[in-house]
Amino acid sequence: EAFKSKKQVVTSNIELVATYGAQLIRTARENDVAYLFEASVGGGIPIIRPLNNCLVANEIHEIMGILNGTTNYILTQMIQTGQSFERALSDAQQKGYAERDPMADIEGIDTCRKIAILSALCYGRQIDSDTIPTQGISNIDLQDVFYSEKNGYTIKLIGRSKKVDGNVYVKVSPLLLPKKHPLAGVEDVFNAILVRASATGDLMFYGKGAGKMPTASAVVADCINIIKYGNLGMPVWENGGVVSRCNCDNIKYYIRVKSEDKADTKEQINSLFAKAVWLDTQENDVAFITDKDDENNILDNIQKLRSLIGNDNVKATYQVED
């Protein structure tokens, strides 16, 4: 109705843009008005406009990022102070970093919607966020944090997207990043987005991803942009995006299981993951990193492992980044 009344619209509503972006953009264009939403991803970090304008001469190979400040704060506390997930979440709520109902944050739903927006912007097609494989951080244990850190990795909740054979591979999950990775050092409530582009190479966007002032900065910037340029340069995408289930790159996984008989469990694991790299573990834990393989093969073998040793004994399965 606002568009039909020739009203310009600026929003920070993530769910609205992720779900109805293509439809709203089309309606705004039909009525010759602007629909801008810089604040919907990254808070005060400029990312929508750079992707839409500054990098338009590039083909975006991949985009990945820490897109939720709440989960990044929780993981930072777990890593740096040894707090449990539950205690770190409570701390985040007390400081106002997490909502009373934190489900959208901790289960990756917020990150999922944001990577859906960035995917649509980069690849031109609306991505249904409900079709994006999404895993949050609520099941991350301090043991996983400890083993990751001990072996040169840090755990981050990552939203990532890349073009694969005409479709878009999109995923949200905890990822073990090597310490040298540009996103590994991003801590507390800060967000960061890594863009891999054809001409410019790797670009990093970093800053406060939430809060009154950062969000207000992005909203006001959109308002000023409309005053200056109207709807010129407005982001545009269409419906019809398809999420690919194939990464098309061989990857590795970190897997942790509980075992009363480590020798027997390792033998069963070796039958599925012949080149597993074993990690030093405590008590009844068995943890390892798989050899590189097609992601679907790894996921199939994880299901077979669950059948062999019991679903409840498979405690963690997270992708490992090189």
Active site residues: 114
Gap between the Cα atoms of 83 and 279, Å rounded: 22
Question: Taking Cα atoms as reference points, which of 35, 48, 41 lies closest to residue 9?
Answer: 35
Contacts 24+ apart (CB under 8 A), 307-310: 308/268, 308/272, 309/257, 309/259, 309/265, 309/268
Class of residue 101 by CB neighbours under 10 A (exposed 0-12, middle 13-18, buried 19+): exposed
Q: How many CB atoms lie within 10 A of CB 165?
A: 9
Question: Taking Cα atoms as reference points, which of 14, 7, 26, 16 lies closest to residue 239?
Answer: 26
Single-letter residue type at 181: H
- For residue 142, CA distances in Å to 83, 139, 156 come to 8, 10, 13
Query: What does the buried/exposed string (b/e) look like for 258-286 if buried means 16 or more CB atoms within 10 Å of the residue's CB?
Result: bbeeeeebbebbeebbeebeebebeeebb
Q: Tell me the backbone φ, ψ of residue 158, rounded to 5 degrees.
A: -120, 135
CB distance 235 to 297 below 8 Å? no
Gap between the Cα atoms of 55 and 182, Å rounded: 20
Question: Taking Cα atoms as reference points, which of 202, 206, 295, 297 lies closest to residue 251?
Answer: 295
163: tokens are 């073009």
Radius of gyration of the chain (CA): 21
CB distance 116 to 127 below 8 Å? yes
